[in-house]
Chains A and B, each alone.
Chain A
Amino acid sequence: MTGRVLADDRRVDVALSEQTRVEISRQKERYPSARSAILPALWAVQHELGYLAPAGMEEVARILDLAPSEVQAVATFYSMYFQKPGGRHTVMVCVNVACALRGADDVVAYLERALGCPSGRTTADGMFTWQSTIECLGACGYAPMMQVDHRFYENLTPAKIDAILDRVAGEAGDDGHATMQAVAMPKAPPSVAPPPAEAEGPPSDARMPGTVKGESVPGQKRRRRGRPEGNDL
């Protein structure tokens, strides 16, 4: 996968789905101050659009009764909110201490070669946007690791990375930016991984906050489960 890097200024100006707007309103009620709901509301927008389109942030501001500028101030503070549209899938590589000690630099170098574009950019075919500038993702026990869309992939090796990228690129219908419902519903387990042990969902599913399972954030669920994804790869 090498080639031209897409311009970063592609934008979508789509209205949010009814489902996302309902989700944002629901988040608003969970907090005493509407400002507190900005983070989960932005997650919902990014989940639907793949990035935080200005139109989406304006919609958040409207629902939460805040100024759009306040919403964007929060959005730009955090590196895991994307300000620009990216590829179909998002790859985030952890380069913090634990991962760095376990070879994160090699993973970064390998990804750059494999994807054919520097960190922060999108592959020519629009399939992947990858970042190596995001801080600790909280899976230090399984370093080096990366997160692809909402899933963690751990104990990485070049061979595993190839397999993950190929599989994700080949997955039909699961583009990582699917609707909330799509994520909330159990997916078919990846062909290369064993079926999930628990009934609550596939093992690799680090859930969005506010989805059916509710509370977990990427990372937490993995640690509790204690069985790294893709060990057989």
Chain B
Amino acid sequence: MTAAPPPGDGQVGLVIDGREVRVPKGTLLLDAASEVGIHIPIYCAHPKMDPVAVCRMCLVQVEKLPKLQPACATVVSEGMVVDTQSDATAKAREGMLEFLLLNHPLDCPVCDRGGECDLQDFAFRYGPDTSRFPITEKVHFDKAVPLSDKIELDQERCILCWRCVRYYDEITGEKEIVLQQRGVHTAVATFDGQPLRSDYQGNLPEICPVGALTHRQYRFKARPWDLIRTKGVCPECSYGCNVFVDSRDFEVKRFASRDNPMVDDMWLCDRGRYSATSWNSTSRLRRPLVRDAAGGVRDVGVADAVKEAARRLLAVSERGGGEVIGVLGSPDCTNEEAWLLQRLAREVLRTPHIDHQLAEMLRLGPAEHALGIAEIESCTAVVVLGPEPEVNAPVLTLRLHKAATKRGVAVHRVAANAEPRDITARVGDARLVGVVADETNRARAAAVASALAGGGTAVKRMTVTRGGNGRGVKDMGLLPDLAPGYRPAVPAGMGGRAILESATSGSIQALLLLHAGGVLAGLGALVESALRIAKVVVVIDTKPGVLADAATVLIPGHSLMEKQGSVTNLEGRVQRIRAALPPATSVPSELRVLSMLAGALGAEGWGSGDLMEVHRALAADVPAYAAAGNGGRARWEVAAA
């Protein structure tokens, strides 16, 4: 059928259902078929795992072969003629489904997976209409057996595809789940019935092709067709895993994985995944308030609140200049908010005292996050300093595991304070070494990197930033010594801790706090006295707490599930977030509030604070972000160290 190709071009030509396909040598039949849009049903095959060919669902007819072949484990060869629609194939599929449904309880109406279940879908599409086996003779297992506080097992629904076992074997390496017993008694189990301890259990229900493994958090919460699916980014850490925010009835019901091979590789950690419902809290700030000197509180409209904030800020700065004002954002701000906040501080309030956290991060440089997440796989060796990087960005662990087991990368986990000399000796000869450290360990990471580079090795660093948009707010210049794009800020101001201390001593008289509740929580006396002593405390935040209680002007903000914008992950990847929930307050967006505030302070040309307007201005100011677009990495000129 196909003409013989020139040998050695690395491509193989074959015919699937009469359509000619050319794919690289070594491609699996399943992937070759999907290349031309031909669907082959699968259960055990999984794009992120090695083939095992145990479920036999993908059997297809290959010319000249006496038996049907599993498409998921058959490598294409030159001149192969495949028929995925032949009678034999159809009969095999029907037979497999009849067997798979032999002991299946058919409890789809009460199954969380109903509506997004491969067994259901394939039974409709390829299965027999009826079963020849009596429904009364099914083998039953206990239902809804907890495997941990997060995962529930319904063994009756299991089709023994081994995905969960292979996930724990290949993807996490923890080997917590195995199949025990045999025959119809075969069951998913842990050693001695111990609960699962993994930090990545939430991926199990997603890789399970049926409803055997389900989330306890999501049990009976929604039907997939009732969910509104919004593309989002997990806000729990700065790794930036892509998620679907699935909501129903104005509540987030779950975070589902949204495969981005460059970032999460479709795996989420439990901390991130199960943080989903925390966004449903109704303990929120809803109306602007103004507090007078005597402590009396007034409900006001947002326009009045902004005017009052401007009046009070002007009052202190007229006497002491802009330098009596301290401005704090946080990693909970979007890039657009952060950029606008620093612009307000530097151009309108004329204060250099601006930061996003209390830990001092001076002289940051883009070299600190030159290493991309997916690039880990092409390193010769990776040095991880201390446990903090993986504690603060848990999905990193899975990428390191993949790099080590599937790409042959030498992963060296060393003590955070290990001697650079010893690390260099341990790494030995290497082409490209990644150095991964937490942002609190920057100095050490720099020392290790320069020791490695001194030996002539190419080195790229990855720095795990704290907080969801920790990288983005740094890029946006919420730093005392750096303006957006890592340009030096002149003059440099005080950092977060110094701002609070100066507020306590009286040299800072006004504080403007945007989504700072998270970073200031749990700091006790320093924050309390700073808030008490400062004359003006303008707070824009979402939740009640110390800040809201102390605010002289309080303007409710929007949670990350209620707004649009962009956030940047630890490798500098700029990703969009979209509103998945209706706003808890009628106050306009933070961008609009900041623009109104700028106007009230007398600034001109600030516009209305529309997202697209701010985003354009941001992109013009920071060309790396304009180039990154949506989903790309911001690439900076890395100055030679």
Whether the pair A68, B180 counts as a contact (CB closer than 8 A) is no
- Identify the interface centre among A67, A68, A69, A73: most chain B CB within 10 Å of its CB: A69
Residues of A within 8 Å of B180, CB to CB, are 72-73, 76-77
**Min CB distance, B200 to chain A, in Å?**
16
CA distance A54 to B189 in the complex (A): 14
**Min CB distance, A12 to chain B, in Å?**
14
Whether the pair A69, B176 counts as a contact (CB closer than 8 A) is yes
A106 lies within 8 A of chain B by Cβ: no
B526 lies within 8 A of chain A by Cβ: no
Whether the pair B181, A72 counts as a contact (CB closer than 8 A) is no
Residues of A within 8 Å of B175, CB to CB, are 67, 69-70
Whether the pair B177, A69 counts as a contact (CB closer than 8 A) is yes
Beta-carbon nearest neighbor of B165 in chain A? A73
Residues of B within 8 Å of A72, CB to CB, are 178, 180, 189, 191-192
Residues of A within 8 Å of B189, CB to CB, are 69, 72-73, 76
**Min CB distance, B422 to chain A, in Å?**
26
CB under 8 Å from chain B, chain A span 52-93: 54, 57-58, 67-73, 76-77
Residues of A within 8 Å of B178, CB to CB, are 69-70, 72-73
B181 in complex: contacting residue of A54, A58, A71, A76, CB < 8 Å: A76
B397 lies within 8 A of chain A by Cβ: no
**Min CB distance, A52 to chain B, in Å?**
10
**Min CB distance, B125 to chain A, in Å?**
33
CB under 8 Å from chain A, chain B span 322-377: none
Whether A77 contacts B190 in the complex (CB less than 8 A), given A67-B175, A69-B175, comes out as no
Residues of A within 8 Å of B190, CB to CB, are 69
Beta-carbon nearest neighbor of A77 in chain B? B182
**Min CB distance, A41 to chain B, in Å?**
15
Whether the pair B191, A77 counts as a contact (CB closer than 8 A) is no
Beta-carbon nearest neighbor of A66 in chain B? B175
CA distance A57 to B179 in the complex (A): 16
Whether the pair A68, B181 counts as a contact (CB closer than 8 A) is no
CA distance A54 to B180 in the complex (A): 14
CA distance A69 to B177 in the complex (A): 7
CA distance A71 to B178 in the complex (A): 10
Whether the pair A68, B182 counts as a contact (CB closer than 8 A) is no
**Min CB distance, A86 to chain B, in Å?**
18
CA distance A26 to B212 in the complex (A): 40
Whether the pair A73, B192 counts as a contact (CB closer than 8 A) is no
Beta-carbon nearest neighbor of A75 in chain B? B180
CA distance A68 to B181 in the complex (A): 15
Beta-carbon nearest neighbor of B181 in chain A? A76
Beta-carbon nearest neighbor of A71 in chain B? B191
**Min CB distance, B197 to chain A, in Å?**
12
CB under 8 Å from chain B, chain A span 21-58: 54, 57-58
Residues of B within 8 Å of A70, CB to CB, are 175, 178
CA distance A58 to B192 in the complex (A): 10
CA distance A168 to B181 in the complex (A): 31
CA distance A76 to B192 in the complex (A): 11
CA distance A67 to B192 in the complex (A): 12
Residues of A within 8 Å of B192, CB to CB, are 54, 57, 68, 72
Residues of B within 8 Å of A58, CB to CB, are 191
CB under 8 Å from chain A, chain B span 198-222: none
**Min CB distance, A49 to chain B, in Å?**
15
Whether the pair A69, B191 counts as a contact (CB closer than 8 A) is yes
Residues of B within 8 Å of A71, CB to CB, are 191
**Min CB distance, A221 to chain B, in Å?**
27
CA distance A139 to B182 in the complex (A): 24
**Min CB distance, B290 to chain A, in Å?**
61
Residues of A within 8 Å of B181, CB to CB, are 76-77
CA distance A67 to B179 in the complex (A): 13
**Min CB distance, A99 to chain B, in Å?**
21
**Min CB distance, A130 to chain B, in Å?**
20
- Identify the interface centre among B174, B178, B181, B182: most chain A CB within 10 Å of its CB: B178
Residues of A within 8 Å of B179, CB to CB, are 73
CB under 8 Å from chain B, chain A span 156-178: none
Residues of A within 8 Å of B176, CB to CB, are 67, 69
Residues of B within 8 Å of A67, CB to CB, are 174-176, 191
Residues of A within 8 Å of B182, CB to CB, are 76-77
**Min CB distance, A148 to chain B, in Å?**
25
Beta-carbon nearest neighbor of B187 in chain A? A76
**Min CB distance, A59 to chain B, in Å?**
13
Residues of A within 8 Å of B177, CB to CB, are 69
CA distance A77 to B182 in the complex (A): 5
CA distance A77 to B179 in the complex (A): 9
- Identify the interface centre among B175, B176, B177: most chain A CB within 10 Å of its CB: B175
- Identify the interface centre among A54, A70, A76, A77: most chain B CB within 10 Å of its CB: A76
CA distance A15 to B131 in the complex (A): 51
CA distance A54 to B175 in the complex (A): 16
- Identify the interface centre among B174, B176, B179, B192: most chain A CB within 10 Å of its CB: B192
A selection of 24 A-B contacts at a CB cut-off of 8 Å is A57-B191, A57-B192, A67-B174, A67-B175, A67-B176, A67-B191, A68-B191, A69-B175, A69-B176, A69-B178, A69-B189, A69-B191, A70-B175, A71-B191, A72-B178, A72-B189, A72-B192, A73-B178, A73-B179, A73-B180, A76-B180, A76-B181, A77-B180, A77-B182
- Known A-B contacts: A73-B189, A76-B181. Give 6 more (CB < 8 A): A57-B192, A69-B189, A69-B190, A72-B189, A72-B191, A73-B179
| Chain A residues close to B by CB (< 8 Å) | 54, 57-58, 67-73, 76-77
Report the 9 A-B pairs with minimum CB-CB distance, sorted nearest first. Answer: A67-B175, A73-B178, A76-B180, A69-B191, A54-B192, A68-B191, A69-B178, A76-B181, A77-B182
